[in-house]
Amino acid sequence: MEAKAFKIFVVEDDEWYRRLLVHNLSMNPDYEIKSFENGKECLNNLHQLPDVITLDYRLPDMKGIEVLKQIKNSNPEIQVILISEQDDIEVVVDLLKHGAYDYIVKSKDIRERLLNTVNNIRKEFKLKNEIHSLRQEVKKKYSYQNTIIGNSAATQKIFDLIEKATRTNVTVSISGETGTGKELVAKAIHYNSLRAKQPFVAVNMAAIPSELIESELFGHEKGAFTGAASRRIGKFEEAHSGTLFLDEIAELEISLQAKLLRALQEKEIVRIGSNRPVKIDCRIIIATNKNLLEQVKKGQFRQDLYYRFYGLPIDLPPLRQRGNDIILLAKNFVSEFCKENKLGQKILTPSASKKLLGYPFPGNVRELKSVIELAVTLADKKEIEAEHLLLDDTENIESLLNEELSLREYNLRLVKKLLEKYDNKPKIVAEKLDIGVATIYRMIKDE
């Protein structure tokens, strides 16, 4: 697609000087130049959306500052370069206050100065466009559907809660087993909220030694303690105007919870080694794989901090409770892995899908992703068979035993699992369980 021309308006009443400016700017073939004799003509053509306007300070019909104000009121994105014969510092300061990008005095070296200024503006425009594109990509990446794939009732409920969370700055508490995607949900909330253009800062409380947590969150001043060679900005300040995601919040030692509570209540922090408070404005999203209320009852988590954090609760269900979402996720992981590694597209066979649906995935989505990536690697052909899915059967049986079932139901599930493992060969299963083959047939028949 052809690149958009960089459009420049030249507004100058002196014909000779106007031609000089147009000639100098036209040396760059990427610039599209249009010239006007007065301010009114320029303002009447702002609908053409110029990127830059060079504006003579003294025009026959209007003062340069009045034209500048109207340009900025019409479109603040247009950059205006004032050009004049006078060099009055008060005038320059006033123009810059009203949004002028630069002020250039008419002189012999104006060509170089003007071209450099316009080139700098163009670079800034390009950078802004790149940042905008990246933000759009991030927003698309963390859209609800791209963050959590599935159509189960449990997944639809998560979508609904995420949407509610994006409308306000309410604190969000995300709970769920390890591997259910708590940070992805936090990012989906941030990048679809009014704070999307501001920082998203994540802190894993379990990954930071307890003696460093305070410095990590609040920062420190130079010389505050041994090894503090310079000032350090903490995570609260990094996340100013954005979102601070506190993962594994239950791991925070109770001695530090009071300081965290105070920072949240007062909306200010104090760096270690300082007594000057610093105002903070960041949305808080927390996550935990523990029951915080149980932690409160055990005396391991402050009750006042618990209620401060509660906000909008989002409980992520384990993968084993999301039904056919397992297959939708698996197919998505297959597609992504094949694309990233430039492999031909592969598909899950019915037997592979059945095997996935029969496994409890104690590691949740994270485990499923690893299992699928390994299966794609092992599959030489287009089809991913059940044999390519290396699942932890020991973990599967342990999970089965945690359920409250009758002895008959336990026996039936165990037999089914072993039949699946040994390619539906009752004789082998009977030998493994030390029972008769007829017993196997009878159990299946009576199901």
Report pLDDT digits (tens) over 53-92: 999 988 888 888 899 999 999 998 899 999 887 777 777 8
394 pLDDT higher than 60? no
As for how many domains the chain has, the answer is 4
The average pLDDT across 227-237 equals: 88
Query: CATH no. for residue 242?
Result: 3.40.50.300
Are both 203 and 304 inside the same structural domain? yes
Are both 203 and 270 inside the same structural domain? yes
Q: Which of 108, 136, 164 is the last residue of a domain?
A: 136
Is residue 359 in a domain? yes
Is residue 61 in a domain? yes
Are both 312 and 327 inside the same structural domain? no
Query: CATH no. for residue 109?
Result: 3.40.50.2300
Is residue 181 in a domain? yes
Is residue 128 in a domain? yes
202 pLDDT higher than 80? yes
Are both 52 and 75 inside the same structural domain? yes
Query: CATH no. for residue 408?
Result: 1.10.10
Query: CATH no. for residue 363?
Result: 1.10.8.60
Q: Is-above-0.85 flag for pTM?
A: no
20 pLDDT higher than 70? yes
The average pLDDT across 147-171 equals: 89
204 pLDDT higher than 70? yes
408 pLDDT higher than 80? no
Q: Which of 269, 286, 317 is the last residue of a domain?
A: 317
Are both 202 and 271 inside the same structural domain? yes
315 pLDDT higher than 60? yes
The average pLDDT across 161-185 equals: 92
Are both 253 and 382 inside the same structural domain? no
386 pLDDT higher than 50? yes
Is residue 1 in a domain? no
pLDDT for the residue numbered 89? 78
Instruction: Out of 17-31, 100-114, 397-411, pick the least confident.
Output: 397-411
Are both 181 and 301 inside the same structural domain? yes
Are both 42 and 126 inside the same structural domain? yes
Are both 228 and 190 inside the same structural domain? yes
**Residue carrying structure tokens 């306007």:** 53
Domain that holds residue 328: 318-399
Are both 293 and 211 inside the same structural domain? yes
Q: Which of 317, 340, 358 is the last residue of a domain?
A: 317
426 pLDDT higher than 70? yes
Is residue 84 in a domain? yes
Instruction: Out of 39-48, 238-247, 393-402, pick the least confident.
Output: 393-402
Are both 230 and 328 inside the same structural domain? no
Are both 393 and 323 inside the same structural domain? yes
Is residue 433 in a domain? yes
Is residue 200 in a domain? yes
